Structure 1
């Protein structure tokens, strides 16, 4: 069953009670992505093992528990289900059903100002989220560049951009991340600058 989940959504991190429970899980508003086009549901896991499920003007209170292996049991309209929890990011939660090849995907909207009411809203949210993440990573990261068969660096993208502005180097020079060993990704300085 786990192969199905990890093939569908790679790079999941298992729920860790110490890391996730208090800061990322409890009292957060988790919008269920599955079926959002039909009805929007917001799940809030409370400290006293109460699960509130909000749909329009209707709030359902049910229960949830977690065991020592970080496996959850949740009381639903269909009965008791057992799930394992994973995080894609700090604000994307996946609950993998242990009895079927299905999972539920949630987005934490506690700190998100706009409402998520449709697939289009979710796409816009994810696009903006990862655009900010890429910009932050690129802005803070360092790269080597190669020019006339010589390697220089490492430099931040800001430093490389300044060298291009001062016409010290060409915007078409190939770059590599400090953690990479060659230039096989064919990334150029101009590609990095476009992401800033």
Structure 2
């Protein structure tokens, strides 16, 4: 079951009570992505093991518990289910069903101003989120570039952009991240500047 989930959604971090419970999990508005086009459901895991599930016209209260191995038991309309909890990042939560090859994907909308009511809204949310993350990652990172078979760097994107605007290097020189060993990603300075 675990392989199925990790093949579908790579780079998941298992729930860590100390890291995630207060900061990311409790009292956050988690919108269920599965089935959002038919009905929107928002889950709020509260202290005292109360789970509040809100839909368009009504809200129900049910319960949840967590055991020492970080296995969650959640009482739903369909009965009691057991899940393992994973985070893709601070705003994406995955509940992996322990007895089936199924998982539920949630987005934390607590600090998000727009409403998530459709698949298109979810796509826009994720696109904007990861675009901002990519921009800040690129902005803070350093890269080597290769020109005439020689490697130079590392430089920030800002420094590379300045070199391009001063015609010291071509915007089409290949770059590699400081943590990469070759230029196989075929990334160019132009691609980095475009993302800023």
Normalising by structure 1, report the TM-score.
0.98
1:47-196 maps to which residues of 2 (within 5 A)?
47-196=47-196
Deviations 1:52-72 (A, max 9, x none): 000013010000000011110
Structure-1 separation of matches of 2:149 and 2:12? 40
Alignment gaps of 5+ in structure 2: none
SS in structure 2 at match of 1:48: helix
Deviations 1:149-169 (A, max 9, x none): 221110000000001111111
Structure-1 separation of matches of 2:3 and 2:183? 33
Moved more, 139-148 or 110-119: 139-148
The total of aligned residue pairs comes to: 196
SS in structure 2 at match of 1:81: strand
Deviations 1:28-68 (A, max 9, x none): 00000011111100000001100000001301000000001
Q: Is 1:40 paired with 2:40?
A: yes
Q: CA RMSD in A?
A: 0.8
Structure-1 separation of matches of 2:184 and 2:77? 52
Alignment gaps of 5+ in structure 1: none
Structure-2 separation of matches of 1:186 and 1:56? 47
Structure-2 separation of matches of 1:73 and 1:141? 41
SS in structure 1 at match of 2:135: helix
Normalising by structure 2, report the TM-score.
0.98
